[in-house]
Structure 1
């Protein structure tokens, strides 16, 4: 009956068609307003945004509320709150639910008739339900990517428990976008514009193809969030998949011989600061811990014969048995007090990476490592001494590669490292197979 009335009102003769599905998103949010560059936080209008088929309609709800009294996750006024007109949360929220239901019913009627409406038809249908009262015409709210990027970081970071490293990655994405085009709009992000962005990352930011692909993936994450929020109506990014040549990343680790070489190296008296760096790195090599987990390791995490930790990156609880090498390092510092009751003398990641390269060079960890990577279509081959590629994460890789090469089953190693599937372990398993094959060749030399 409702749709028949709509048909008469809109001057459209509807026929019976198979039921279609109109994807839509109905969002209630506070209007973004500023005064002298400062966000307004009191008596802010509540708006209803309807997003469908790359279209957006903004409705006023007639209600206002303070930002502090609005629950952005639930898209409702917080229980027990009132606005300047003494309208209660229950009263406002009831009307918001009513508006939501009315919009949903309008779309359901269009779906039944197999008819994709225009924005004007949806607006007119909604206003018709309100005694023909014409929706107040307002200038459309235009959002820019850089304006909502901080909101994205705050919301997703909180919901997903981002690490500091993830925050830094998305801060870099924002910086690249701003440098690329300060006035960037969502509507402009079509395939040609996205291609220009890829070229900017390659030519101006001097990125490798693998890094560019990561940047595009991060950008898509952001744009999907913007689409969900109703900020972005342009979904060209979904089909944007630049063809960039790449090669698998080289896994840098120490062989068992190199590990012993580093372990037994006599550090000069003038460079004793490298001793603690070596101890922490060797602990990673003999436990498989990430730098962040070693940095966070407390004396209270050490048990009789094992350590028990909750990882920083995945919040997973791990039990890792101690071997003679890792136990010796812990015993060395068991009576030394460190800030925060830490178990080991861990310095900053950046400083430790610098010192590891210095230590590796002194210890003669200089096997030439060949790498191939691409910048655009240009292939680049490099040869670098292994010490120059050492970093804290090489400790974890060293543990995995040597454990597999020793014949320890992958599923056991995964219990120690916290890997959830074999896909992440495959590069290490391939390396272990190579090590075993090379070991077998030694028989041919007898």
Structure 2
């Protein structure tokens, strides 16, 4: 439980009062001066923050500092607790002194130097992700991609706007919006791509604030990461049959991609978990039914289990129980080639925002297939086969029906067929009941 709090010495004074940080040690407590004063009438005693009043022109900076001080204090307490060491008032005061003492000018770390150090620390395991997990190569690459984008943005500002190199203090709400504008109109990125770069930048700025290299206003907490719902697809059983009947005897690469794709289509597992599909994870129920159960890599994901499909068995036999390994990036390229070769070229409509305008395109279906299409195909085809939703969710690992329903990718014709099939089943059930009477 967080024990850090703030208070003023005199709550009814008409003069500025010092803001003190307090931390409780059971019956004892540390009272530590933040060095910042505020008029009690400008202090929100409920939220322990400076009120949103025009009289306090630097309220955003003060509140950001207090927020960072709270995070730091609680993180120190958690670190000592994890080490099973006693945190004393003297130790906490020393930690706070080191935190609040501003670094010398020559020791100030540059924006991109900090970014690179963050990446290196993630690679080495010195810095862990929020779930206390070591960053995988895919996560590291995301940060490097974001850093490259920001360096391009810096060069653009230097060349086109005659601006100086980027520093931490440059990152105001105005510059944040300039970066979004650059990604939107100069780079012509789609909304979800822009959101990706926003997310990485926000993480870096918050890390710098925690390291006391950067003071940021409340605007960073309020920024909205841009996102739009993509046009997701699934492959029906007829399309899967087209892929299955392809002669790939002369193309071992696509043959392996097909096998892996079918693993996803007939288990419903994520691509990160396909490597766990092995004979070691095959179990039997009390009635003798075979199923696969895995422990997912994704943080906080539930353990999915799915009935063992004959196609999965034949693929495992083909590779002596050890599936081939391929990066998700390469897989998403090759699976499009596979589906194109199978003739899955029906036109689908995509709608997205680019350069600030809505654009609607007709593209071949194979161009939209990714590793996630396999998972969506499993869920949707099982649903069309009238498998109850709560049972499909056991296979996909979804814990809420709301999130699961996002995976059902029925177009208009698919929805009509599903309704017709449901009505036929209901009609059959009624006939059976009437007949039994």
TM-score computed with the length of structure 1 as normaliser: 0.65
Map 1:104-143 → 2, pairs under 5 A: 139=105, 142-143=108-109
1:322 shift after superposition:
0.6
1:389 shift after superposition:
2.4
CA distance in 2, matches of 1:177, 1:221: 14
CA distance in 2, matches of 1:249, 1:433: 17
Structure 1 unaligned blocks of 5 or more: 25-50, 57-70, 80-88, 104-122, 124-134, 337-341
Map 1:321-336 → 2, pairs under 5 A: 321-333=307-319, 336=320
User: Would you say 1:239 and 2:234 are equivalent positions?
Assistant: no
CA RMSD of the aligned region, Å? 4.3
CA distance in 2, matches of 1:278, 1:430: 21
**Retained in 2: the 8 A contact 1:371–1:383?**
yes
1:161 shift after superposition:
4.1
Match of 2:152 among 168, 179, 194: 179
Matched pairs, number: 349
User: Would you say 1:261 and 2:266 are equivalent positions?
Assistant: no
Equivalent position of 1:364 in the other structure: 343
Equivalent position of 2:91 in the other structure: 96
CA distance in 2, matches of 1:215, 1:137: 29
Deviations 1:130-161 (A, max 9, x none): xxxxx999548644432322454522437244
1:283 shift after superposition:
1.6
CA distance in 1, matches of 2:362, 2:103: 65
Equivalent position of 1:376 in the other structure: 355
1:354 shift after superposition:
3.3
1:198 shift after superposition:
0.7
Equivalent position of 1:318 in the other structure: 304
- The structure-2 alpha-carbon separation of the partners of 1:73 and 1:178, relative to structure 1 and needing over 3 Å to count, comes to farther
Equivalent position of 1:53 in the other structure: 63
CA distance in 2, matches of 1:325, 1:383: 33
- The structure-2 alpha-carbon separation of the partners of 1:349 and 1:191, relative to structure 1 and needing over 3 Å to count, comes to closer
- The structure-2 alpha-carbon separation of the partners of 1:404 and 1:434, relative to structure 1 and needing over 3 Å to count, comes to farther
- The structure-2 alpha-carbon separation of the partners of 1:160 and 1:23, relative to structure 1 and needing over 3 Å to count, comes to farther
**Retained in 2: the 8 A contact 1:404–1:432?**
no
Equivalent position of 1:403 in the other structure: 382
CA distance in 1, matches of 2:141, 2:77: 25
Shifted more, 396-405 versus 269-278: the winner is 269-278
CA distance in 1, matches of 2:103, 2:242: 76
Q: Secondary structure at the match of 1:74?
A: helix
CA distance in 1, matches of 2:97, 2:298: 44
CA distance in 2, matches of 1:14, 1:252: 56
Structure 2 unaligned blocks of 5 or more: 1-7, 19-36, 51-60, 67-75, 156-164, 285-289, 425-437
**Retained in 2: the 8 A contact 1:277–1:346?**
no
- The structure-2 alpha-carbon separation of the partners of 1:94 and 1:204, relative to structure 1 and needing over 3 Å to count, comes to same
TM-score computed with the length of structure 2 as normaliser: 0.66
Equivalent position of 2:324 in the other structure: 345
Larger radius of gyration: 1
Equivalent position of 1:307 in the other structure: 292
